[in-house]
Amino acid sequence: MKYIFPRLNLRKAIVIVVGIFIFTLIYSSDKDYFELGKYEIANTVKKQQIKLNIQEIDYLKITIEEHYKDTRYENCTLDNIIFIGNLRSATRMQVRIRVEDIETSKKSITEKKSEETEPTRNYNQKPIVWKTVDASCKGEYLIVDFEEKIDLHFIEFEKLVTENNFVSSLPRLVSIVVGR
């Protein structure tokens, strides 16, 4: 016995086409990416800020373009990275933004990812400590996904001083890309 396909009339065809169109609109995850440029980081022992003032982002990528070459250290470090801005759904007060997920390149790591991406709002979230595995830092990246769309005012980080009062080797130029 041969299987006979059901007849397809115009109404069924329109419903199928509209259904496929709505499905692709809902599940398409194309983001708009914007390159903000390169930012220089001074080689000092204090907190520093990179002022961005961007609105409605949920993705941020920091890439090391150049670093201070220092033979005393075998890696590059950005210590205690904090994102300051405000949530789209809340008031316009500046707050520390919570991070949902962190991704790094193959030759870089974060200290304690579970504490830096705390999923509940009940606990404190630790600042991100980002280190490279070896001294060739150029091209290493850190990707941060936020819980919701935010307005990001600035990125704040500080360098930790070691026992001998030497500052860890750090990037000199970083490029920043954001996504919506």
Mean pLDDT per 10-residue interval, the chain, length 180 residues: 78 91 81 86 78 88 82 74 79 73 82 61 69 82 85 81 56 84
In a domain, 93, yes or no: yes
* pTM of the predicted model as reported, rounded to 2 decimal places: 0.73
Q: Which pLDDT value is given to residue 61? A: 92
Task: Kindly state whether residue 1 falls inside one of the protein's structural domains.
Answer: no
Q: Does 23 map to a domain?
A: no
For the chain, what is the domain count? 1
Q: Please check whether residue 105 lies inside any domain of the structure.
A: yes
Q: What is the pLDDT of residue 31?
A: 75
pLDDT at 16: 92
Non-local (6+) Cβ contacts of 41 within 8 A are: 48, 50, 170, 171, 172, 173, 174
CATH of the domain at 162: 2.60.120
Containing domain of residue 50, as a range? 32-179
pLDDT score of 24: 86
pLDDT at position 145: 86
Contact 158, 47 (CB under 8 A): yes
173, part of any domain = yes
Position 28 scores a pLDDT of 74
In a domain, 13, yes or no: no
**For residue 114, what are the contacts with CB-CB under 8 A and spacing of at least 6?**
none
Reading the block at residue 61, the tokens are 């990528």
Phi-psi label, residue 21: left if phi above 0, alpha if psi -120 to 50, beta otherwise: alpha
Run of H or E residues at 11: helix 10-27
Residue 62 lies in a domain: yes
